[in-house]
Chains A and B, each alone.
Chain A
Amino acid sequence: MAKPGKSPTTYQFARSRVVQTVERIITEGREEGMIWHNSKDSFGRFLEKDGKTLLNFASCSYLSLHLHDDLKAGAISAIERFGTQFSISRMYYQCQLYTDLELGLGRMTGGHVLVTPSTSLAHQAALPVLVGDDDLAIIDQFAHASLHVATKLLASTPVIRLRHSSMEQLESYLIEHGSKYLKIWYICDGLYSMRGDFAPFAHLARLQAMYPQLHLYVDDAHAVGWHGCNGRGAALEHLPQSDRTVVALSLNKSFSAAGGALVFSRQELKDRVHMCGGPLIFSGPVQPPMLGAAVAAAHLHLSPELARMQAELMHRILYARDLADRMGVRFVSQDATPIFFLPHDSPQWARAAARAFWSEGIYVCPVNFPAVPVNMPGIRFSITLHNDFSDIDRFMEIALRLQPG
């Protein structure tokens, strides 16, 4: 309980209080059947829910590579070569597939790549090593939860939260704090997983050119693969190459394997994080089957096939955006990404809309606090190569009917 009369200048909710609140909200969602579903079948164009087949508008496998023959063959071949796991600390030995994968990702991104067990663990490994005691960290309020968790490890380094993508506020902090700190890190997502908007890359590039102290750490998990040359993602595509930028990638989602990766401009930085990043010393490795799939995915990303798949996905994205515009279906972001967010006025409406979508044969994700702000409940859906154009037509018809106002 907060005590009166203290007049604090900052306020922090007790950890147990936050857990209780989240538990209450998640329990509500679970009891209403909104979350924790199981599927008995593969996860492509369709999803099975309560014995009913629904069109799948919820996958983050944007290029649908998880069912690609090359990736399946890569995983099988790795199992045959190394078995199901390579159980020794990576500090002593690593499976050769790690080296193959880092080389492939290096060619994809043009940087020095360190593969990590997950993107979340990449943040936990990199940020405490990269961000120094004399630095300041500024994090976008909507940055992925794993980034917020990782900034808790920065102990003595002050962390400021920024209003979502407010470059005006970022610049004011750069001016205000420039003389007090050695480096100022801005930590953000490349593509925000709920709203479906890109980071303001052009503005960030301008600020980075103006302020030599500004360093960027970008979690580009949702933009890898489907976006950019060789699928290097949005940050590496749209930000100029710089010693002051570090990008974290996901090898899940569009890449359709497992694990994460960090892209550095210099080998020394990579080595430093590799040597000193806690989870890289103490956590288990990505296991051979998924390393095999990841190596195959990297090969695919370096092949001409990728550009064709990216173009096919972009065709669907633009088709959906254009159709929505013409029909008057309004999304939170207009960026050409495969993530769409339909805002609703209340959590109850969002849940009712999700049920209506499901009953009409389309699976979408109802989204509520804490995944989004309290005042921004809604429906999140995504488009992948598995969705055909008639699926999108059907989706928009229903979305228009269920749209508030």
Chain B
Amino acid sequence: MKSTWLPILAAANLLQPLEKRDTGQANAVMSKELNGVLGKLYQVISFPEGGCPDWEGMAKLFLDCARITRITPEARDEFDVDGFQAMLSELLESGVYTSFFECEVGRRTETFGSMAHVLSAYETKRDAAATARLGAGVNSIQLVREQGTWRILSLLWDEGDSHLAFSPEQFQNMEIHYGQTR
């Protein structure tokens, strides 16, 4: 049903960012909370030359049962948070990366009650000052709101060939809230 209606809504220019629509204070609060989590996510995974990701900060953002999934041309890798840290540490120690900078450049969010699904367009750079990007893509993030806090249940991204043709500038921001938050 959604797939039937979304193009029509989009064509009618009804899928504007939430703040342009009168969706109520609860949704505005939810948007702010999600903004905080997403902002923090990109902050904890980025680090300058000689540094490392903010492991503690990362652990706080994810649920204990969270899954992190990376699709590469060679394979699909699935991790829990500790496993992901071990993999990143291996990449850092072996010098595959010496710094990392990733920032969000667009977002589509859909929520229903205590669950949220975010498609977050990103770009990676050599460092924050770099003029060209190393890569770009989309993070698919599922979040759950428990005890007043949004935490990440799943983080999934594709490092395959699709990123080569992807332009984050074309990514349209969108926010839809179905139902009411608790």
Contact = CB atoms under 8 A, between A and B. Distances in A.
B90 A349 contact: no
A304 interface: no
A6 B83 CA distance: 7
24 contacts: A2-B79, A3-B78, A4-B80, A6-B80, A7-B80, A9-B86, A11-B90, A21-B72, A21-B73, A24-B74, A161-B95, A164-B95, A164-B98, A343-B126, A345-B130, A345-B131, A345-B134, A346-B132, A346-B133, A347-B134, A373-B96, A374-B97, A375-B100, A375-B127
Interface in B70-86: 72-80, 82-83, 86
Given A11-B89, A166-B50, A345-B131, A141 B95 contact: yes
Contacts, number: 98
B130 A17 contact: no
A178 interface: no
Interface in A216-269: none
Given A141-B93, A345-B134, A349-B132, 5 more contacts: A1-B76, A7-B83, A21-B72, A375-B127, A375-B134
A20 interface: yes
Interface of A: 1-13, 17, 20-21, 24, 141-142, 161, 163-164, 166, 343-349, 369-370, 373-377, 404-405
Contacts of B87: 2, 11
B50 A8 contact: no
Interface string B116-150: 00000000011101111111000000000000000
Contacts of A377: 134
Nearest to A375: B126
Interface of B: 50, 67, 72-80, 82-83, 86-87, 89-90, 93-100, 125-127, 129-135
Contacts of B129: 405
Which residue, B87, B90, B126, has most C-beta atoms of chain A within 10 A? B126
Contacts of A8: 82-83, 86
A269 B105 CA distance: 59
Given A1-B77, A345-B126, A11 B86 contact: yes
A1 B76 CA distance: 6
A8 to B, nearest CB: 5
Contacts of B73: 21, 24
A252 to B, nearest CB: 24
A400 B94 CA distance: 32
Contacts of B126: 343, 345-346, 375-376
